[in-house]
Amino acid sequence: MNALLSIWTWFEIGLVALLGFFVQLVLAVFTWPFDRRKVVTGRCFRLIGVTAAKLTPFWHFRIHGELPQFSPRTIFVSNHESNADPFIISLLPWEMKWLGKASLFKIPAVGWSMWLAGDIPVTRGDQGSAKGAMAQCARWLDKGMPVMIFPEGTRSKTDELLPFKDGAFRLAIETGADVIPMAVSGTRRALPKHSWRFAHAKALVTVGTPISTKGMTLADLERLKGMAREQILAMRAALMPLTSVVTEPAREGASAA
């Protein structure tokens, strides 16, 4: 039964992505002259993800806690449990441009939508690509558009956070951007790494407190990483008891948020 439901879910996600792309393409044509920050096409793409997640019989995704006020010059960083993370983070009610691995941009419909949304591709292990991606992130910040980065660089196979890479934090110090940590919990079960099968999961995303980089230099890079990591660990620890496995596909009205 799980295999059949998983096949249906992939079909549903693919269909939503394809139909959503055509809607996004029409919006891109009409908004291009005046929406150079790609807010409309970006929000459209996030809502495509939200729609696909809500139609997935396996998933109960929610926002937990209050959402902070923040400056447009902000870099959001989050732990990375699975490929389901973008679906739950897209529930957040604001636009931000995502740094993602370049191979995702080659996926039909999904990759095309990422380009239209203004997301930023990066090739792992390629210093030139990483430098160019960080420059593109800086240009978005200069336009008053927040950026979203997974500082682990890839999905963790366990409950342990992987070491944080420097890129997001170096960018924050060099551009004077704030850093806002976020945490997700429960998505690892939703779509396990290296598996095509979905699983019943209750997942939550929560947003932390802005960290100002005012007055910081690159000598403070490790301290900034540590401050963000500490918040993510604390938030994730608070979420984990609330993200127990959902054993039935029916959606109850109760929410932990």
The residue among 38, 142, 55, 26 whose CA lies nearest residue 96 is 38
pLDDT in tens, 199-215: 889 999 999 999 999 99
Query: In which band, very low, low, confident or very high, does the pLDDT at 251 lie, cut at 50, 70 and 90?
Result: very low
Contact 117, 68 (CB under 8 A): no
Residue 212 to residue 57: CA distance in whole angstroms: 40
User: What are the pLDDT digits (tens) for 68-87?
Assistant: 999 999 999 999 999 999 99
pLDDT > 70: percent of the chain? 94
Query: CA angle, 220 as apex, 214 and 222 as ends, to 5°?
Result: 130
Question: What's the pLDDT band for 245 if we cut at 50, 70, 90?
Answer: low
Q: Which helix (DSSP H) or strand (DSSP E) does residue 203 occupy?
A: strand 201-207
Q: Is 72 helix (H, G, I), strand (E, B) or coil?
A: coil
b/e per residue 113-122 (b: at least 16 CB within 10 A) = bbebbbbbbb
Q: Which whole number is the average pLDDT over 2-28?
A: 92
| pLDDT score for 1 | 63
Closest CA to 50 of 37, 59, 41: 59
- At 243, is the secondary structure helix, strand, or coil? coil
Does domain 2-242 match CATH 2.60.40? no
Q: Identify the pLDDT of residue 198.
A: 86
CA distance 170 to 221: 6
Which sequence spans correspond to the domains of the chain?
2-242
Query: From the CB of residue 16, how many other CB atoms can be counted at a distance below 10 Å?
Result: 20
**pLDDT higher than 80, residue 244:** no
Beta bridge partners of 148: 76, 98
